[in-house]
């Protein structure tokens, strides 16, 4: 069964407007959740991670994500998009039982000048 | 300059040929991983190694082989048995529950 669902394959925003990238998880236990960013033809870079400390997690480059257990969501947000934010974003879930990482299918963010 | 390096950046494979992708890390991580990325899909785990001289199959190991003779190195061989090798290959190190550090990737194309 799919562990992580990224609800949008592509999101377009105008520069300076808010960004919302949606992710739902299905882990039964307390999950470890990550957001990674991938620029074209590059490796992935960690933006932020949730490991049950605080429900609102702040990451690099002004991104943050809120863990909502009642909604099984871990959406990524940024108040104001910058051109350099254009990239592919992956939501990732570590499942203790499987001792494995499960990657979402990715959301491509386009920022319009 | 610490991190993970992968080479080559692009690799071309002929029919029936085995090719080897290089991955080196100087982060002193015990664990290393190989992922395959196809368009519109998330990353899929090919092989991983938790320690030198030990490695385990991931979700899509068929047609691939690895070795881990040194802590710093985890090469991946794409064998002729892999019938659809065209993809972007990413190497990573670090713990599964911790931050994974990724290399820049190798794009494999079939001639």
Determine the Cα–Cα distance for residues B78 and B8; give it in Å rounded to an integer: 14
pLDDT of residue B72: 97
Q: The tokens of B53 are what?
A: 């001289």
Q: How many CB pairs under 8 A join A and B?
A: 51
pLDDT one-digit tens code per residue, A42-51: 889 999 999 8
Average pLDDT, chain A: 91
Cα-based torsion angle of the residue sequence B39, B42, B48, B50 in order, rounded to the nearest 10 degrees: 150
- Contact criterion met (CB < 8 Å) for B4 and A43: yes
The string of DSSP codes covering chain B is --SEEEE-SEEEE-TT--EEEEEEE-S--S-EEEEEE-TTS-EEEEEEEEETTEEEE-TT-TTEEE--SBTTB--EEE-TT-S---EEEEEEES-SSS--EE---EEEEE-
- Contact criterion met (CB < 8 Å) for A9 and B40: yes
- Contact criterion met (CB < 8 Å) for A101 and B40: no
Q: The tokens of B33 are what?
A: 């991983």
Residues of A in contact with B42 (CB under 8 A): 4, 90, 102-106
| Average pLDDT over every residue of A69-93 | 95
Q: Print pLDDT tens along chain B (111 aa).
A: 569 999 999 999 888 899 999 999 999 999 999 999 998 788 999 999 999 999 999 999 999 999 999 999 999 999 998 889 999 999 999 987 788 899 999 999 988
Of all residues in chain A, the percent with pLDDT exceeding 70 is: 94
pLDDT of residue A42: 87
pLDDT of residue A102: 87
pLDDT of residue A77: 98
pLDDT one-digit tens code per residue, A6-53: 999 999 999 999 999 999 998 767 788 999 999 988 889 999 999 877
Determine the Cα–Cα distance for residues A45 and A103; give it in Å rounded to an integer: 14
Residues of A in contact with B41 (CB under 8 A): 105-106
SS3 A113: coil
Q: Looking at A42-51, A60-69, A88-97, which range is the least confident one?
A: A88-97
């Amino acid at each position: 069964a799919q562990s992580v669902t990224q609800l949008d394959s592509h999101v377009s925003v105008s520069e300076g407007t808010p960004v919302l990238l949606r992710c739902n998880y299905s882990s039964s236990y307390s999950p470890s959740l990550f957001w990674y960013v991938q620029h074209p033809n590059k490796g992935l870079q960690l933006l932020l991670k949730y490991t049950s400390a605080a429900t609102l997690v702040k990451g690099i480059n002004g991104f943050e994500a809120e863990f909502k257990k009642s909604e099984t969501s871990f959406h990524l947000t940024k108040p104001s998009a910058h051109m350099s934010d254009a990239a592919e974003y992956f939501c990732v879930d570590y499942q203790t039982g499987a001792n494995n990482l499960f990657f979402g299918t990715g959301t491509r963010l386009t920022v319009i000048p | 300059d610490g991190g993970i390096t992968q080479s080559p950046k692009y690799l071309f494979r002929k029919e029936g040929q085995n090719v080897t992708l290089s991955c080196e890390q100087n982060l002193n991580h015990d664990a290393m991983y190989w992922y395959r990325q196809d368009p519109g899909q998330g990353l899929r785990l090919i092989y991983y190694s938790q320690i030198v001289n030990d490695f385990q199959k991931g979700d899509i190991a068929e047609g691939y082989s690895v070795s881990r003779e040194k802590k710093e190195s985890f090469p991946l061989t794409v064998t002729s048995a892999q019938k659809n090798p065209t993809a972007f290959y990413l190497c990573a190190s670090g713990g599964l529950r911790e931050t994974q550090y990724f290399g820049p990737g190798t794009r494999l194309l079939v001639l």
